[in-house]
Structure 1
Amino acid sequence: MARVDPRSGRKLFIGARVRRQREQRGFSQGVLAARLGLSLSYVSQIENDQRPVTPAVLLKLAEVFGGDAVQFSEQDDQRLLAELDVALHDRGLGAHRVAPAPLARMVAQAPELVQAFLTLHERHQRLQEEHAQTIDRFYGELGGDHLRGPIAPPPHEAVREHFNRLENYVDALDRAAEQLAETEGVQPGERASAMRRVLREVCGVEVAEAPTMGADGALRRFEPARRRLHVPAHLSDAQQAYQMATQYALLACRAPIDAVIQAAGFADAETRALAWPGLAHYFAGALVLPYGRFLAEARAVRYDIELLAQRFQVSFETVCHRLSTMQRPGARGVPVYFVRVDQAGNISKRQSATAFHFARHGGACPLWQVHEAFTQPGRILTQIAEMPDGTRFFGIARTIERGGGGYLARRKLFAVGLGCELSHAHELVYADGLNLAAPAPVVPIGPGCRVCPRADCVQRAFPPAGKPLVVDEDSESLVPYRFEG
């Protein structure tokens, strides 16, 4: 029986992905056929999408190429296709509209070229934005439009996009952190004491608890000359251990971190420098919540975030962040997206192991329930949403607060969102009681007004790029913009 995609009900044709994997390893079709125990004509039919793959063949392909069957998922293709469509709608490129079929063929047959084009497009966007900001700083409201043009992409976006390409999972660092947690007895409630010992014995660093770390709210300060690390005394055991583990990674894990940065191919020194603490933070998060132990507990409680936060003595946000990284080959959790938004709609964190498409420019969709969370602080809100391509997602959202500790202490308020494709929703406790086979209501959302094709949205803030406006002075409705196409 041919394998069927559980979301769409379609048979699974993966010819282009099989051919790419085979060519990357230098196999001929005959060699691949021999290793799979199939005929040459059978392999040829698979690669030319003349025959769908069966579950048995899919497992054999995973064995031959290494990893697991998820590497043949359509999620990456869906994400590339969505991003390519957005890029080609950029008015600044002056590109003609391309029909969906050739775009899909390009993504399936030449994903490397698509990724290269998307990288160039993003750099083009960032160059325009940053140069415009520079002109604004010099001219303000006085003008300067004739000077607007490109500059370099911001380092934090380059680092963020690289993590997304890795599906937010860095194997070498994750396994190293998990091994350290097991061998050194880094357990909830005892993490900080264990990490003090590790820093002293492995790195020759003493940890000092400071009653305060200054008006800037510093969470960690290292004195290299004195080999002394300062962490605030008011932090919880898990928070102190996280800061200590970050410092440990910066001192003792330089080789694996440097290998990840070199493989990323970051273009400038500032981006490479910013990647260092990002990867050290990844190591620290993996140590506080070791992969195997955390995944087993998450499955046992059906991804109940509050229960996981209690059992591991960490925050709601920390659990959400870790759930978005559970993509180890052969031991994957539910693929989820994770986002953190402030009250102005700015996205300060966004990670996705799904086909969910975040807008890089112009803000997120106002119909997304993560924004509504601010109206009901502390409550977990659920939503079934549909993207313009028909993909449905089940998501939750809740507000979180950071900082505090005193009346005048600084506080930060965010909303966090976590979600998965609807086909995985039954694995989450939050979907209990919902009719997932025929869900209602389903909220039509989009990646952001700038690129959303929905013509009937009453929440639209501005018209989509690349769509000519239709102005009719004789009629008016709740829909603010009408456009062609």
Structure 2
Amino acid sequence: MTSVAPVELDPLLIGRRLRHVRSESGRTLGDVAGEVGMSASALSLIENGKREPKLSVLSALASALGTSVQDLLTSTPPTRRAALEIKLERAQRRDSYQALGIPAVKIGPRLPMEALEALVGMHEAMAAAQAERAATPEQARRANAELRLKMRAADNYFGEIEAEAGRLLGAINHPGGPISRAAVDRLAGHLGFRLVHTSDLPASTRTVTDLHHKRIYLPQPEAGQHDSRSLALQALGHLVLDHQVPADYAEFLSQRVEINYFAAALLMPESETVAALRTAMKDKDIAIEDLRDAWAVSYETAAHRFTNLATKHLGIHVHFMRIAQSGVIYKAYENDGVIFPSDATGAIEGQRVCRAWTARRVFEQPDLSQAFQAYTDTRSGTYWCTAVVDRTPDGLFSVNVGVPYQQVKWMRGRETTHRAVSRCPDPSCCTQPPPDLAGRWQGQSWPSARVHSHLLAAMPPGVFPGVDDTEIYQFLDRHAPTD
């Protein structure tokens, strides 16, 4: 049986066509609304594009006005003025405009046509200027945004990688539980490679693979066993997943996501992890800390793994963030409707999250060794989040996992009384300083900003971003065994 795609309604366009047809017929709001059994205010909301009408309501309105539903759903605005009004309404609804803190212009018949054209032209010029400012890092940022959409569409679950990880664990007869360093060595041997730790790995690399001599060079495991295992498994992931030299930055990013997923699927096997999660869900006691401890991985790996499996196997929608203490986003994922701050390209990396969000509030807690849970009311709904602080050589970061309020019943820590309200992108929420503070210091300070260039730059020259080929080849020369 052939399925029929649902009609996608455009409330603004429908509203303008509806108003045009009603005005042409010389009828009032109250007259038409009374005939179809609704209030004049409700019909006004529909005509202004602030309420999406049900098809049954649209059918009744079309009948009352002597037209067809198809005529009301046509994609062409009825007049040039209507087209301009729609453009201005959409522009004023964008986050980028709301963040400016400028009042929206009331759109109606009293707004002169010349003013309407000027305002639309101004918004289009602003959008073009924003796009031009983003042109330098555009490739990288757009690639990040597109990859995040792909991950969301898949609920961050990639079955082919799960299956490959399961096959490999079976090939080395892994008995279950945390995968040991010895097991990682056996896995490398199964694939025909040997793991070698060295202290002179090039600074621009995490690992280097010698495809000719079948060696994978890793840094000395000073950071901890699970970090060493993860790096080794990621390097093996390139081989198992048959990665080729990336053609562009988008492919490079996609490969990074895939090898991270591959490593996590081996460190925390799907069947065992899902079984543990289902038991915890039955007890309404899911906690990222339990996953971390059970499989001897980092909190971030456990949090990522939860996002891989929670929607597919438990029906729980989720978001994840890793942010710096300054609030700047380094990594993020969502399929639960939370709205991350973004730039004109749709990219979120390098944007600053609201001070009211749990991911930032965790830095204010007296004991940074404990997980912090809180509820946050946002423009897209209420979310419960749990966050921990990760101490790194580059400073403090927080790793945050959140779920919608409707699904918090499964999570440990849901009884928290910590709550906050985020009004972002309203500038008065947290981007503008309090008036009394601004009054004392505005014009009297000059900060020297730290630039997060690695988040903003487009793909550097060379096949692999930021890697010096000469340095790599010299390293391999030093370590290559004598044939």
Q: Give the Cα separation in 1 of the matches to 2:129 and 2:160.
A: 33
Residue 20 in structure 1 maps to residue 5 in structure 2: yes
Superposed displacement of residue 395, structure 1: 0.9
Paired residue for 1:393, among 378, 383, 392? Answer: 383
In the alignment, which residue of structure 2 is the partner of 1:314? 297
Q: Give the Cα separation in 2 of the matches to 1:198 and 1:123.
A: 52
Could you say what secondary structure the match of 2:291 adopts? helix
Q: Bigger relative contact order, structure 1 or 2, given CA contacts below 8 A and separation 6+?
A: 2
Aligned positions of 1:348-427 closer than 5 A: 348-361=330-343, 362-376=351-365, 377-389=368-380, 391-402=381-392, 410-427=393-410
In the alignment, which residue of structure 2 is the partner of 1:460? 431
Q: Give the Cα separation in 2 of the matches to 1:311 and 1:123.
A: 51
In the alignment, which residue of structure 1 is the partner of 2:317? 335
Superposed displacement of residue 431, structure 1: 1.0
Could you say what secondary structure the match of 2:190 adopts? helix
Residue 279 in structure 1 maps to residue 254 in structure 2: no
Flag structure 2 segments of 5+ consecutive residues without an equivalent.
9-53, 58-89, 108-125, 344-350, 440-483
Q: Is contact 1:123-1:153 (8 Å) kept? A: no
Deviations 1:135-177 (A, max 9, x none): xxxxxxxxxxxxxxx8884544443443234332222212322
Q: Give the Cα separation in 2 of the matches to 1:122 and 1:219.
A: 39
In the alignment, which residue of structure 1 is the partner of 2:117? none
Q: Give the Cα separation in 2 of the matches to 1:349 and 1:281.
A: 13
In the alignment, which residue of structure 1 is the partner of 2:185? 196
Change in Cα spacing, 1:49 to 1:388, as seen in structure 2 (3 Å) is same
Q: Is contact 1:130-1:153 (8 Å) kept? A: no
Paired residue for 1:444, among 421, 436, 452? Answer: 421
Could you say what secondary structure the match of 1:242 adopts? helix
Change in Cα spacing, 1:151 to 1:243, as seen in structure 2 (3 Å) is closer
Superposed displacement of residue 252, structure 1: 2.1
Change in Cα spacing, 1:156 to 1:91, as seen in structure 2 (3 Å) is same
Q: Give the Cα separation in 1 of the matches to 2:341 and 2:410.
A: 27
Change in Cα spacing, 1:199 to 1:125, as seen in structure 2 (3 Å) is farther
Paired residue for 2:160, among 149, 172, 176? Answer: 172
Superposed displacement of residue 332, structure 1: 3.0
CA RMSD of aligned residues (A): 4.2
The one-letter code matched in structure 1 to 2:370 is R
Superposed displacement of residue 399, structure 1: 0.4
In the alignment, which residue of structure 2 is the partner of 1:221? 208
Instruction: Decide which structure has the larger Cα Rg and report it.
Output: 2
The one-letter code matched in structure 1 to 2:326 is A
Percent identical residues: 16
Change in Cα spacing, 1:253 to 1:441, as seen in structure 2 (3 Å) is closer
Residue 430 in structure 1 maps to residue 409 in structure 2: no
Q: Give the Cα separation in 2 of the matches to 1:174 and 1:357.
A: 29
The one-letter code matched in structure 1 to 2:376 is A
The one-letter code matched in structure 2 to 1:383 is A
In the alignment, which residue of structure 2 is the partner of 1:247? 235
Q: Give the Cα separation in 1 of the matches to 2:269 and 2:418.
A: 37
The one-letter code matched in structure 2 to 1:295 is V
Superposed displacement of residue 228, structure 1: 0.5
Superposed displacement of residue 394, structure 1: 0.7
The one-letter code matched in structure 2 to 1:285 is A
The one-letter code matched in structure 2 to 1:163 is M
Paired residue for 2:226, among 214, 232, 238? Answer: 238
Superposed displacement of residue 179, structure 1: 3.5
Superposed displacement of residue 197, structure 1: 2.1
Could you say what secondary structure the match of 1:273 adopts? helix
Q: Give the Cα separation in 2 of the matches to 1:84 and 1:420.
A: 30
Q: Give the Cα separation in 2 of the matches to 1:151 and 1:294.
A: 36
Flag structure 1 segments of 5+ consecutive residues without an equivalent.
1-17, 24-47, 52-81, 100-120, 134-149, 403-409, 435-439, 464-475, 481-485
Change in Cα spacing, 1:333 to 1:247, as seen in structure 2 (3 Å) is farther
Change in Cα spacing, 1:188 to 1:296, as seen in structure 2 (3 Å) is closer
Deviations 1:97-140 (A, max 9, x none): 899xxxxxxxxxxxxxxxxxxxxx99995653244x8xxxxxxx
Q: Give the Cα separation in 2 of the matches to 1:343 and 1:303.
A: 26
In the alignment, which residue of structure 2 is the partner of 1:37? none
In the alignment, which residue of structure 1 is the partner of 2:273? 294
The one-letter code matched in structure 1 to 2:214 is R
Q: Is contact 1:295-1:333 (8 Å) kept? A: no
Could you say what secondary structure the match of 1:359 adopts? coil
Q: Give the Cα separation in 1 of the matches to 2:317 and 2:97.
A: 28
Superposed displacement of residue 419, structure 1: 0.9
Q: Is contact 1:384-1:392 (8 Å) kept? A: yes
Deviations 1:77-115 (A, max 9, x none): xxxxx99954684899x9x9899xxxxxxxxxxxxxxxx
Superposed displacement of residue 350, structure 1: 0.4
Change in Cα spacing, 1:441 to 1:304, as seen in structure 2 (3 Å) is closer
The one-letter code matched in structure 1 to 2:255 is W
Q: How many residues align?
A: 326
Superposed displacement of residue 20, structure 1: 2.6
Q: Give the Cα separation in 1 of the matches to 2:127 and 2:165.
A: 33
In the alignment, which residue of structure 2 is the partner of 1:207? 195
Residue 347 in structure 1 maps to residue 329 in structure 2: yes
Superposed displacement of residue 215, structure 1: 7.3
Q: Give the Cα separation in 1 of the matches to 2:331 and 2:232.
A: 22
Q: Give the Cα separation in 2 of the matches to 1:152 and 1:214.
A: 26
Q: Give the Cα separation in 2 of the matches to 1:374 and 1:309.
A: 21
Aligned positions of 1:474-485 closer than 5 A: none
Change in Cα spacing, 1:180 to 1:479, as seen in structure 2 (3 Å) is farther
Change in Cα spacing, 1:215 to 1:243, as seen in structure 2 (3 Å) is closer
Q: Give the Cα separation in 1 of the matches to 2:6 and 2:204.
A: 48
TM-score where L is the length of structure 1: 0.57
Change in Cα spacing, 1:91 to 1:415, as seen in structure 2 (3 Å) is closer
In the alignment, which residue of structure 2 is the partner of 1:69? none
Q: Is contact 2:323-2:331 (8 Å) kept? A: yes
